[in-house]
Structure formats: structure tokens, C-alpha cells
Structure 1
Amino acid sequence: MAAQQIGYRGPTACAAAGITYRQLDYWARTGLVEPSVRPAHGSGTQRLYSFHDVVVLKIVKRFLDTGVSLQNIRTAVQHLRESGFRDLERTTLMSDGATVYECTSPDEVHALLQGGQGIFGIAVGVVWRDVESALSQLHGERVDTGETLIGQNPADELARRRNRAV
């Protein structure tokens, strides 16, 4: 675990993703989006969500708002989970309302649009930046110390990771 790993409590995750606490709780209990930093262990323990978790919560919300069924969203989230959320910020998720497609290049997006049916897309990079902006205004928590961080920008840690990977 990173020395400065940051987690976000339920109310903060809800505010950043634009969802209700009831949705958050239901999605955690049914395994749609579970907190990866610290799951709830009985009554009174605080779930902690990672930055990636909050991005996925906001993606789920956007799909629900456009009419995609929870079953299809669940399949898409499972696929993202299995891929290890690789290049999430460079991904576009497309849907025709029945199926969710993961596109990682403009050619893949173009190929889907050639089908002639109505398609909508979620540019995950835009969602990523929205969540970064929202969380920079909210409270995070250092996992190792429990210290509350106000206005902690998750982009700082993500930028360090990207620079190391290049």
C-alpha cells in the first residue's frame, strides 16, 4: 500500500459522483462498485473509496441517466474490473442502450458509428477530470494515518504515477 494512499468516505464519493447515499450503499452491497480502499466490516466501520472507484461510480450514474439497464452496466463494470482499469482515462465507453462497448481508439469509435444505430458515448477522460475537480474541493483521508485531507487533489498522485510510467 502506498504511504499516502487516499480514500474517500461515502458522502464524499456521493458528492463527487453525483449519486445518492442509497445508490452508493446498494451498489456496494450488490457488488457493482465496492470500495477498494476499505470495505465495510460490520456496523460502524467507514467504507473508503479510491479515486478509481469514484470515477466508476460517476460512469455508472451517467449510464443510468441515459437509460442503460443496471444489468448491462454491471457487465461493463465487470469488464473494466477484469481489464484492471487500464488506460481508463483514455477510454470511451459507447452504448446503443442495450450493449456497452469499450473503445480505446478513434477507429473503434468510428466503426461503431458506422453501424447506423443511435449510439452515445462517455469519454472517461472527461469524467476523470470532473471527479478530480470535485474531489479537490472535498475531504479525503490518508489511509495510513486516518488524517483528514481537505482539498487534496488526486491528480497529484496520478501525475506522479504517469510520469513514472513514461
Structure 2
Amino acid sequence: MATHNDADRDGPVIRAHRTPVVAEQEPLFADDLPVVDETVGYRGPTACAVAGITYRQLDYWARTGLVEPSVRPASGSGTQRLYSFRDILVLKVVKRLLDTGVSLQHIRAAVEHLRSRGVHDLAQVTLMSDGATVYECTSADDVVDLVKGGQGVFGIAVGQVVREVGGSLARFPSERAAEDSAVAYPNDELARRRRQRRTG
């Protein structure tokens, strides 16, 4: 994780705030977190509904590399993109940052940092921002220090967002990535037609 001093104002804008290095730290309220299978994915409309964004935003963010589907990327006409739990979690965090006035440019720097973290690691993080810089806090003391210093205008407790995404996704169907859509979706009309053409 890269940290930056105050002189580096033009660099990436996510900054660790006195983040302690703790080996094998258990997530707070671990029993409360959803079990996540990163090989399971959700289609675009589900990702939009859970993250609270439009399909146009989802498509634009995927094409520009902000948040790409990690279970199954788009690979030609008719391919259904599949977003993982973590992808949808990041989409929801991006939406919240946008809603509070953080620019997309600053959000991109934050997303680069968040992308490398697992869901349980992210659940321990609170993101604080003053509208320009995004700070990562991993303890209540970090949050208090930022607010006292006038740097934290708003915060996003990522653990709470993890729980919200888990609860919302439980209502939607999920899929596993497969190489052949005819195998992955045996009841799909298009897949049936393709099988018929292949077998004559």
C-alpha cells in the first residue's frame, strides 16, 4: 500500500492514516459478514440494482477500467459480463463517493487501492474524505483524529456496505463462469439454437 506525504498533492489521493501493520488480524464482527465465493458472478442488471447505479454508468466504468467484471469480462457480442461480490461492493462504494462530491478522477485512485484487498480486509476499513483526498482508516482512533483535524467531512464504513451488498445479492440469481454458454446456460434459447446448428 502506497502512502504519500502532504507535499505529494498531485499523486494518488487515497492515503493510509496511521494504519498499523497487524499479521493475521481477524475482521471485526467476522460472523456477521457474508460468505463470499469469488467464482460466483452476477449479471449487469443485478450489479446495477445492488450498487444503485444505471446500466450506462456500469458499462462506462467497465469500458474505462474503473470497475471491470472479474468473474467473466465481456468478450464479444452476446457475452454476459459477470461481476463478483467484491466488484459490486466496489461499485457501491464508488457510487457513495460520487454522491458525496468526490471527483471520478480521485475515485479512480482510491479504487486502484481497494481492488487489491479481499472482502474481509475491506470490511475493516472506513473511508473518510474531505472531498479531495480519500483516507483509509482501520481504527476508531484514526477516524476521530481525521475529524478533529478537519480532514474528514464524511465517512463510509465499508463493513456496513459489505453487509448491505450481501443482503441484497441474496435476492438475486448468481452464475458461475463457464467457457461455453451452451454448457453454462442449458435452458437458454440462444444456446439451444447453437447446439442444434452444431449437431445438425
Normalising by structure 2, we get a TM-score of 0.68
Match of 1:97 among 109, 131, 137: 131
- Flag structure 1 segments of 5+ consecutive residues without an equivalent: 149-166
User: What residue number does 1:29 align with?
Assistant: 63
Task: State the shift of 1:109 in Å.
Answer: 1.0
Task: State the shift of 1:111 in Å.
Answer: 1.6
**Number of equivalences:** 146
- AA aligned to 2:165 is V
1:146 partnered with 2:180: no
Normalising by structure 1, we get a TM-score of 0.81
Q: Deviations over 1:67-121 (max 9, x none)?
A: 1100011110011124556610111011100111111111211221121245100
Larger of the two Rg values belongs to structure:
2
User: Aligned equivalents of 1:66 and 1:48: distance in 2?
Assistant: 28
Q: Deviations over 1:16-58 (max 9, x none)?
A: 1111000000000000000111110122111110000000000
Secondary structure of 2:60 counterpart: helix
Q: Cα 1:147–1:136, aligned 2, differ >3 Å: closer, same or farther?
A: farther
User: Aligned equivalents of 2:184 and 2:130: distance in 1?
Assistant: 43
1:14 partnered with 2:48: yes
Contact 2:44–2:81 (Cα < 8 Å) also in 1:
yes
User: What residue number does 1:164 align with?
Assistant: none
Q: Deviations over 1:117-152 (max 9, x none)?
A: 45100000111111111100111112357369xxxx
Q: Cα 1:61–1:73, aligned 2, differ >3 Å: closer, same or farther?
A: same
1:25-104 map, 5 Å: 25-83=59-117, 87-104=121-138
- AA aligned to 1:146 is A
- Flag structure 2 segments of 5+ consecutive residues without an equivalent: 1-36, 187-200
Contact 1:94–1:122 (Cα < 8 Å) also in 2:
yes
RMSD: 2.1
- AA aligned to 2:110 is A
- AA aligned to 1:38 is R
1:121 partnered with 2:159: no
User: Aligned equivalents of 1:138 and 1:124: distance in 2?
Assistant: 21
Q: Which has the higher helix share?
A: 1
